[in-house]
Amino acid sequence: MPPSVLPTNPSIEQLKGQAKHLLRAFRASDPAVVPRFKGSLPHLAELVDGDFFAAKISLKDAQQVIARQYGFADWAALKRHVEGEAQYFADYRWSDRVPVGVDPLADPPQEQPYYKFVRRANGIHLEQYDARGDFVRLCHQPDDDRYYRRWHKERLAGDSSAVVCDDDGSVVRYEKYHYHDEHCADGPLISSDIFTVEGRLIERQQARKVSHTAYDLYVEDGCGKFKGIIHHAAVDRGEPYDISEDWVD
């Protein structure tokens, strides 16, 4: 029998409900469940109807049947799929602005920090965990990339920070500026820390002078991982500068 197709936007609670319904049907000796159980639980395959319904079946067994019904080896595999736990990683890097896991692990490492990708409502999240398996921080989510739409900025009092707003005027980012003693053209080099509206640090841009009329911004994520370089040239003529970008491959 080919695997069934999972419901749209399945949840573990929904699937647990299916398993409970299946278990009730078994305990009511519903003949319709016989092929489902026999096809998923080998120790029931040879039992005739009388012995079949006399067998001791638990909710765990019913969950196993549900998992097999949807083409998964067991309930744990189905649960991982539905909850979106793709893989565990000992480390990660950036590739064209997208975090990519390296050193994939079959299971969470024991007694050492790790990262994992988790599917959430708005896409894949990269999350960091400590050696005990406790959540540390959200490293990246798709909404973080909205910053690169280059919406307009509004400098705040003192010129040491700014808000980034979308076309409707809603704040989508905060920026905090750090002024260097070193200058490029007629202005000081400026590095910046970029935060979400919730206050989560998502990016640092470190300014480095290249020449009297050019500088680079070295971009790191909130965990200090290198992402790429934003080159600025012809600074002496004023904005808009000549800008090019090199992101990690």
Angle at which helices 12-27 and 59-69 pack, to 10 degrees? 120
Of the two residues 62 and 170, the one the predictor is more confident about is 62
Phi first, then psi: what are they for 3, rounded to 5°?
A: -60, 150
Q: In this predicted model, what pLDDT tens digit does every residue of 92-123 receive, in sequence order? A: 999 888 888 888 777 777 888 999 888 776 77
Q: In this predicted model, what pLDDT tens digit does every residue of 16-68 receive, in sequence order? A: 999 999 999 999 999 898 888 888 888 888 887 678 888 888 999 999 999 88
CA distance 85 to 129: 13
In this predicted structure, the answer to whether residue 1 has a pLDDT above a threshold of 70 is no
pLDDT at 207: 97
pLDDT at 55: 86
**Cα dihedral angle (116, 93, 229, 173), rounded to 10 degrees?**
0
pLDDT at 149: 60
pLDDT at 54: 85
- Return all residues near 225 (Cβ < 8 A) that are at least 6 apart: 92, 93, 94, 99
In this predicted structure, the answer to whether residue 85 has a pLDDT above a threshold of 70 is no
CA distance 42 to 25: 19
Q: In this predicted model, what pLDDT tens digit does every residue of 179-231 receive, in sequence order? A: 999 999 989 999 999 999 889 999 999 999 999 999 999 999 999 999 999 99
**Residue entry with tokens 């600074």:** 235
Which structure tokens are listed for 198? 């919730």
Q: In this predicted model, what pLDDT tens digit does every residue of 127-163 receive, in sequence order? A: 998 988 888 999 998 888 766 666 788 888 778 999 9
**Cα dihedral angle (66, 72, 75, 76), rounded to 10 degrees?**
-160
Apex 187 CA angle, 181 and 190, nearest 5 = 60
86: pLDDT confidence band, cut at 50, 70 and 90? Answer: low
Which structure tokens are listed for 115? 């990262």
13: pLDDT confidence band, cut at 50, 70 and 90? Answer: confident
- For residue 55, the Cα-to-chain-centroid distance in whole angstroms is 43
pLDDT at 125: 87
